Amino acid sequence: MNYLENYKKWIMSKEVDEVSRGELLAIQGNEKEIKERFYTNLEFGTGGLRGIMGAGTNRINIYTVRKATQGLATFINLSRPNENKSVSIAYDSRHFSETFAEEAALVLAANNIKSYVFDSLRPTPELSFAVRHLKCDAGIVITASHNPSEYNGYKVYGPDGGQITLETANSIISEINKLDIFDDVKTCVKEDAVEKELFSYIGETIDIEYLKRVTELSVNIKLGRQVSDLKIVYTPLHGTGLMPIEKALSMLGFKDVYIVESQRNSDGDFPTVKSPNPEEREALAEGIKLAKSIKADIVLGTDPDADRVGVAVQSKDGSYELLTGNQIGALLTYYLVSNKNNITSRDAVIKTIVTSELGARIAKSYGASVFETLTGFKFIGEKIKEFEEMNSFDFLFGYEESYGYLAGNFVRDKDAVISSILIVEMAAYYKLQGSTLLNAIDDIYKEYGYYTDALNSFTFKDIDSLDKMNLIVDKFRDINELIKVFPDITIIEDYNTQKRNILGSSHSERIELPSSNVIKIHFTDESWFAVRPSGTEPKLKLYYSAVGSSLNESSERMDLLRQKILKMIDL
């Protein structure tokens, strides 16, 4: 069926609600818009769905959510045919998030699977906790993370509380692909689901247990009361983080907490920011403005589903400097390993392949083991599960450069609630010594080397974007061309072929990670860069890490690297 036939099918279908039908009738004759909405089905990737909200097969709406849930329900029923089955469901502050959550629950109920639905918006990491705590077969969270307001998403979690594995995702996709979006999807009315005890709300009981576990991760439990003058500014960026973070900080004795009022309330329009992305200074602008007025020590901002946190710290001149994800990860690694007694090689720190080596160097210097995974916290979660099943290592800390961090083993995804309390406690720890997080990262650089890290991200919006991104990545597979531009290359890692080529050697090593379309290039001075198409967005990402004996040296090395690479790809 081509896109025009698909478009006509939706307009004529009795299943399509009048609002969606009206939206489609409004684009009649606009072939470009019709093609964009119907030329393909919104892809269920390794974690679920993410896309622009609206009517059409290439949009996220109640019909694409129902279809995805039907595929999940079929997979669960085939996997556990003779047992009681359940799924936890959470949602963030985006438009239609609550509606999508309820629609998913009603499809599950129609398939005889019980849903535990949070009674109001909650962070993604609390959903991960709930899956484990309630011993569910799966979890669903409705969120598009830090994407702009026109997006929403649907993420699926496995029974361990981690994002589903590639194998599970493929099995669910296989079931989804068998379905007609209208004829093959089961649903029911809410009253029937409730009466059959296949739909129930959860909330405060889970909150209490989750926050108890979060606060137990405190390294120095008395710091909140010892450093009573630590001023903290926090913004949830109109998302889900306010309740758990405010409560967790209070439970640990941190009382001098100021919430950014203009961003306190949940709002799917995210009216005070261009994008609710805590990686960007603009997203923290309101928080920094408040911090300047009260001379706060630290500013925290979490994304809408509160799995990532950005940090700004007051410098000597009163301005506020943003820490990078790599810097926060290195600081937290140092704080945890330097304050834990008897670190051994059984203690494990996990990072992704595009994350700076600084945290790894710190962990190894204290005797901990370090593991690498592909990009995406799902792989860190899988590694934690492996440690437990094999009784091989004790998970200490995991992080990625994109502002995601995790300590503890009761959540299996990045957690901005856990991260925020540890970051605040760390700031109090250094303030007690007359220092700051900025001083601390400078001290780390002096001991372990100066690292400058950066990211370039290019968005592709046309239909042929995947082909264009793959062609660019392929440029970096041409070894002869690479050597002409970068004569000091030592290692080329191709994660697609799972080969590590050591230049000057006649052999290659196997990369013991799943295949992924990533190229990573290493240099003689331990600097590197990597090229990777995003797994969740139509974006090409370029990661750079430059190492030097001074900040100026690493920064200059970074600038040169970036110039050469951008010239190569000509974007």
Q: Give the Cα-Cα-Cα angle 448, 454, 458 (nearest 5 degrees).
A: 160
Q: Which of 450, 446, 526 is nearest to 491 (CA)?
A: 526
**Is 398:351 a contact under the CB 8 Å cutoff?**
yes
Cα R_g (the chain), whole angstroms: 24
Q: Where does residue 77 rank: exposed (0-12), middle (13-18), buried (19+ CB within 10 A)? A: middle
Q: What is the residue type of 265? A: N
Q: What is the residue type of 481? A: E
Strand ranges (E), 354-425: 369-373, 394-400, 404-406
- Catalytic member of 93, 97, 145, 554: 145
Q: What is the Cα–Cα distance from 116 to 127, expressed in whole angstroms?
A: 10
Token pair for 44: 């269920």
Taken as a whole, the chain contains a residue count of 571
To the query of whether residue 550 is one of the catalytic residues in this protein, the response is no
Token pair for 357: 């080596």
**Is 518:495 a contact under the CB 8 Å cutoff?**
yes
Q: Which of 50, 68, 102, 62 is nearest to 172 (CA)?
A: 68
Q: Which position has the token pair 């934690």?
A: 384
Strand ranges (E), 65-202: 86-91, 114-118, 138-142, 151-157, 199-202
Q: What is the Cα–Cα distance from 130 to 207, expressed in whole angstroms?
A: 9
Question: 442: how many CB neighbours lie within 10 A of its CB?
Answer: 14
Residues designated as active site: 145
